Amino acid sequence: MHPVVPALVESAPLTVADVLPRAVAAGLVGPDRPVAGFLDTAGVLRAVEGLRAAFSGVPDVLHTFAAKACPLVPVLRLMAAAGMGCEVASPGELRLALAAGFPPGRIVLDSPVKTEAELREALELGVAVNADNLAEVERIARLRRPDCSSVLGLRVNPQVGGGAIAATSTATVHSKFGVALRDAGAADRVADAFARHPWLTRLHVHVGSQGCPLPLIAEGVAAAHRLAAAVDARVGERRVTGLDIGGGLPVNFADDRVTPTHAEYAAALREAEPALLDGRYRLVTEFGRSLLAKNGFLAARVEYVKDAGGRRVALTHAGAQVATRTALLPDAWPLRVSAFGPDGRAKTSAALRQDVAGPLCFAGDVVAHGRELPELAEGDWVVLHDTGAYCFTAPWSYNSLPRPAVHGYRAGDGAGVVFATVREAQPVEEILRENGLDHADALLDGPGGTAG
């Protein structure tokens, strides 16, 4: 563990009200920098600490951070410094994890669709790989060299059902993920694959992300645990040595409380299957949202306000490009929004029902509908709370809006706040390049095409 980690974990917690006025004063946000993301460095480490404490009684556990929740290299490096591993699901995420400094032996590759080249690279690096299906197991059998150091597993879908949000429920009857375990003969086919391939030693299960109640997640993990025993019985010896139990601890977006906690999650596992945490299997966890969401916020400037059909609408710089799910599925992904004045201090004026809209050219680009908030005015700031995961770190490039800057913050001397640039706002030149500037003439007549 990096020496800076314990001191940060011990530091006094900071609130948005502590941070935003200083971010405004420091010029990190302003009229020409109208939206930015902020991450609470110490808060992230405290969340990691809570996760570790929840599993402290388990003899052998590797906690990996699900990179997709917040794939920024400085965040990944912080996670590595705190002793975490990393769960990745694409060639880009794998490269980010390596660049952040995770040793290959602490990286787990989980993507549902992997090319042969991606598999070969992972096997050569010694990254753990969870095959999504039995065809992928056979592919690995062909590609794997005898001296390969990758831990190899197979994802199963316990088909325990979905949670409150269909799109983040991965253990439904027809889910695209893993081997559908309750289908006729599936458990036998899985056991046969383990019998055929002595290097297959891990079972992987991830029941869902957000909206899945703890007992449902625990039921899915318990099913994988029972399967491990069945596989060993079929093989005739100890074969399954590890259980990768995924992530998916839901986050409370309604207020500041962290609920449920990682400790409650571990208790739910114990309740579903007391032997789960007894150390017979090396456990791997893959939490993302529960470590980051509540440790980040977005600040966006109110550019204009208007009235439409008797409803006040605040036009801000944070919309679907940084809170995509909230704009597209507002009932499933509500976010808390609060109002701050031009100096970054909380507004206390009388509440008014308002829509808080974003800058994109489509009507659904609204992050809060009819919300009671202090009356917003031009130059104010709105804060979108609990957006440290899957929001400004998973931006949508609709309307060619730039990815906003991201700043880390921590307590400084006295009442001060120390900021660190995690990512700069995307320069417009980069937007040009990713939209084919280098091929500007490609569709005009002339030589230089690729014959096919």
Ligand X SMILES: *Cc1c(COP(=O)(O)O)cnc(C)c1O
In the complex, least distance from residue 286 CB atom to ligand X, rounded to whole angstroms:
4
Of residues 316 and 393, the one with the C-beta less far from ligand X: 393
Distances (CA, A) of 52 to 104, 261, 287, 326: 21, 12, 12, 30
Calpha distance 224→130 (Å, rounded) = 14
Contact 37, 322 (CB under 8 A): yes
Ranges of H-type helices in 307-381: 324-328
Please, what is the minimum distance in Å from the beta carbon of residue 26 to ligand X? 31
Stretch that binds ligand X, among 64-72, 141-149, 227-235, 317-325 (CB under 6 A): 64-72
Number of H helices, E strands in the chain: 13, 18
Task: Work out how close the CB of 292 gets to ligand X at its nearest, in angstroms, rounded to a whole number.
Answer: 8
Least CB distance to ligand X at residue 111 (A) = 9
Provide, rounded to whole angstroms, the least separation between the CB of residue 391 and ligand X: 12
Least Cβ distance, residue 68 to ligand X (angstroms): 6
- Of 95-103, 203-211, 318-326, 399-407: span binding ligand X (CB under 6 A): 203-211
Q: What is the DSSP letter of 157?
A: E
Q: Residues 201, 209, 316, 387: which binds ligand X (CB under 6 A)?
A: 209
Question: How many binding residues for ligand X (CB under 6 A)?
Answer: 17
Among 98, 39, 37, CA closest to 67? 98
Nearer to ligand X, 19 or 66 (CB): 66
CA 294, distance to chain mean position in Å, is 12
225 contributes a contact to ligand X by CB under 6 A: no
Q: Which stretch binds ligand X (CB under 6 A): 159-167, 245-253, 301-309, 396-404?
A: 245-253
Q: Which of 62, 66, 75, 276 binds ligand X (CB under 6 A)?
A: 66
Using CB under 6 A as the binding rule, whether residue 206 contacts ligand X is answered as yes
Report the residue number, 286 or 380, with the smaller CB distance to ligand X. 286
d(CA 163, CA 151): 30
Cα Rg of the chain, angstroms: 24
Residue (205 or 314) nearer to ligand X, CB: 205
In the list 5, 69, 78, 272, the residue contacting ligand X (rule: CB under 6 A) is 69
* Contact flag: residue 211 with ligand X (CB under 6 A): no
Q: From the CB of 32, what's the least distance to ligand X, in Å? A: 33
Provide, rounded to whole angstroms, the least separation between the CB of residue 39 and ligand X.
15
* 247 scored as a contact of ligand X (CB under 6 A): yes
Instruction: Find out whether 407 and 398 touch, Cβ atoms under 8 Å.
Output: no
- DSSP label at 61? E
- Minimum CB separation of residue 109 from ligand X in Å reads 10
Q: Which is nearer to ligand X, 326 or 354 (CB)?
A: 326
Nearer to ligand X, 68 or 144 (CB): 68
- How far apart CA 212 and CA 54 sit, in angstroms, is 19
CB-based contact 382:34 (threshold 8 Å) = no
- In the complex, what is the shortest distance from the CB of residue 219 to ligand X, in angstroms, rounded to a whole number? 17
The span from the CA of 113 to the CA of 237, in Å, is 31
Please provide the distance, in angstroms rounded to a whole number, between the alpha carbons at the two ends of the chain: 53
Exposed, middle or buried, 302 (CB in 10 Å: 0-12/13-18/19+)? buried
Give the span between the Cα atoms of 304 and 302, in whole angstroms.
Answer: 6
Select 190 or 212, whichever has its Cβ closest to ligand X.
212
Binding mask 77-106 for ligand X (x = CB under 6 A): ----------x-------------------
Distance CA 220, CA 245 (A): 9
- Which of 40, 93, 110, 386 binds ligand X (CB under 6 A)? It is 110
**Other residues' Cβ atoms within 10 Å of the Cβ of residue 373:** 20
- Using CA of residue 253, residue 76, residue 300, residue 309, what is the dihedral sign? negative
Sorted by sequence, the CB contacts under 8 Å of residue 421 that are 6+ apart come out as 405, 406, 407, 408
User: Binding to ligand X (CB under 6 A): which residues in 276-315?
Assistant: 286-290
- Contact call for residue 136 and ligand X (CB under 6 A): no
Q: Residue 341's closest CA among 311, 383, 372, 295?
A: 383
Please report how close the Cβ of residue 174 comes to ligand X at its closest, in angstroms: 17
Please report the beta strands in 132-248, taking only residues with DSSP state E, as ranges in sequence order: 152-157, 179-180, 200-204, 242-244
Q: Which segment (206-214, 274-282, 322-330, 421-429) binds ligand X by CB under 6 A?
A: 206-214
Residues that bind ligand X (CB under 6 A): 66, 68-69, 87, 110, 206, 209-210, 246-249, 286-290
